[in-house]
């Protein structure tokens, strides 16, 4: 008899933690050998549980559920069903255990939707949730999305109109932020290179949880009301309310770039993603300068550069896919 596999199965039935590797080993044993029947019979005979009046049909119904239930259900069946039915239900137990292990070890396949720099994208998730992706953004969701839960990962910026399902809340992982949604419309901006994560709620309700990368800082959770916008500063671990107007936050969904009295550093990131260019400039002298820019669909990059030159007293030079910005020579 396979000694190691017997120990794993015995431990599993004894409510001990079983590693993924051990489950894989047990699955292979179940596929290739009849020996698990012997182990199950031994474990049954060790059981001191009182006999029950459960019928065989009840036993069958309980076993069938194992393919979609937690492993402790299997252990409850083993410890509670009458010993008189042991020989009959051993094959069912083996099959059920095999199905559970097979299900647990099936890794989900992830689908990815990407909006490259200079592009935008729109999609509908399997549950009917609508998603708009801004430039240089992507979402990932598993092939079993919506079956047990609705969880996705966001890198970049997206606007969501979530299909309401009270039994299956919608979860978003975005950098250091986690967002729980029941059914609502909101915008999330979480680019890895940005200093801030921004979440804005327009309708419904969401629960925002911040889990800083610094383990010494505790996680924080707060609920947003419609019209509220929260920014999390990743460098300073600070949460603050955002006073931007909704039309500025959602301008990108209408192919507009609206930027009101904000610093140049934030504008640069949007320009680079919007036009798929790289901007080279002196950060120390320009990052904190503030300006207002409003561009609409169809306006070309050179028009934006003209505005920057006039507003900031700089010169812009374009070479291939790079924009060089430097102070105007006196």
| % of the chain beyond a pLDDT of 90 | 35
pTM equals 0.67
In which band, very low, low, confident or very high, does the pLDDT at 45 lie, cut at 50, 70 and 90?
low
165-202 pLDDT per residue, tens: 888 889 999 999 999 997 789 999 999 999 999 999 99
Looking at the structure, tell me whether residues 240 and 287 fall in a common domain.
no
Residue with the bigger pLDDT between 48 and 313: it is 313
- Both 262 and 164 in a single domain? no
Q: Mean pLDDT lowest for which of 3-12, 53-62, 243-252, 300-309?
A: 53-62
> Taking the chain, what is the end-to-end CA distance rounded to the nearest angstrom?
89
pLDDT for residue 316: 93
Q: 132 with 82, same domain?
A: no
| Residue-number span of the structural domain to which 237 is assigned | 110-247
The pLDDT of residue 12: 66
Per-residue pLDDT band for 42 (boundaries 50, 70, 90) equals low
243 and 118 in a common domain: yes
Same domain as 89, residue 21:
yes
* pLDDT tens digit sequence for 299-321: 788 888 998 999 888 999 998 88
Residue 23 shares a structural domain with residue 131: no
Residues 314 and 292 in one domain: yes
Overall domain count for the chain: 3
Listed residue (326, 295, 325, 292) closest to 311, CA to CA: 292
Instruction: Mark whether 217 and 314 lie in a shared domain.
Output: no
Please determine, for residue 48, whether its predicted confidence score (pLDDT) is greater than 50.
no
- Could you tell me the pLDDT band of residue 131, with boundaries at 50, 70 and 90? very high
Tell me which of 56, 80, 104 is where a domain ends. Answer: 104
Q: Where do runs of H (alpha helix) occur along the chain? A: 3-13, 20-32, 35-46, 56-64, 71-80, 86-104, 246-249, 264-275, 283-286, 301-312
Clarify whether residues 237 and 281 are in a common domain.
Answer: no
- pLDDT tens for residues 64-78? 444 444 445 454 444
Greater confidence (256 vs 330) lies with 256
* C-beta atoms surrounding 272 within 10 Å: 18
Based on the domain organization, do 169 and 266 belong to the same domain?
A: no
Pair (74, 169) in one structural domain: no
Q: Same domain for 91 and 145?
A: no
Contact 194, 174 (CB under 8 A): no
């Amino acid at each position: 008899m396979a000694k190691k596999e017997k120990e794993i199965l015995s431990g599993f039935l004894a409510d001990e933690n079983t590693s993924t590797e051990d489950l894989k080993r047990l699955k292979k044993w179940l596929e290739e050998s009849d020996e698990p029947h012997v182990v199950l019979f031994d474990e049954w005979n060790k059981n001191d549980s009182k006999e029950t009046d459960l019928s065989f049909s009840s036993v069958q119904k309980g076993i069938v559920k194992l393919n979609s239930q937690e492993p402790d259900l299997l252990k409850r069946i083993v410890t509670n069903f009458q010993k008189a039915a042991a020989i009959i239900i051993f094959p069912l137990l083996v099959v059920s255990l095999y199905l559970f292990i097979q299900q647990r070890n099936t890794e989900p396949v992830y689908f990815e939707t990407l909006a490259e720099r200079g592009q935008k994208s729109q999609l509908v998730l399997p549950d009917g949730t609508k998603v708009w992706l801004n430039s240089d953004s992507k979402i990932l969701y598993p092939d079993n999305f919506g079956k047990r839960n609705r969880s996705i990962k966001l890198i970049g910026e997206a606007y969501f109109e979530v299909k309401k399902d009270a039994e299956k809340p919608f979860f978003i992982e975005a950098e250091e932020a986690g967002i729980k949604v029941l059914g609502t419309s909101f915008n999330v901006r979480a680019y890895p290179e940005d200093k801030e994560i921004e979440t804005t709620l327009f309708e419904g309700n969401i629960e925002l949880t911040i889990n800083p990368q610094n383990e010494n800082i505790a996680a924080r959770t707060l609920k947003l009301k419609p019209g509220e916008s929260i920014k999390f500063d990743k460098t300073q671990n600070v949460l603050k309310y955002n006073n931007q107007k909704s039309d500025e936050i959602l301008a990108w969904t209408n192919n507009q770039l609206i930027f009101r009295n904000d610093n140049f550093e934030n504008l640069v990131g949007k320009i680079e993603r919007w036009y798929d260019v790289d901007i080279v400039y002196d950060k120390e002298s320009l990052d904190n300068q503030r300006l207002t820019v409003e561009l609409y669909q169809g306006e070309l990059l050179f028009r934006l550069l003209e505005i920057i030159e006039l507003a900031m007293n700089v010169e812009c030079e374009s070479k291939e896919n790079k924009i060089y910005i430097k102070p105007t020579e006196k």
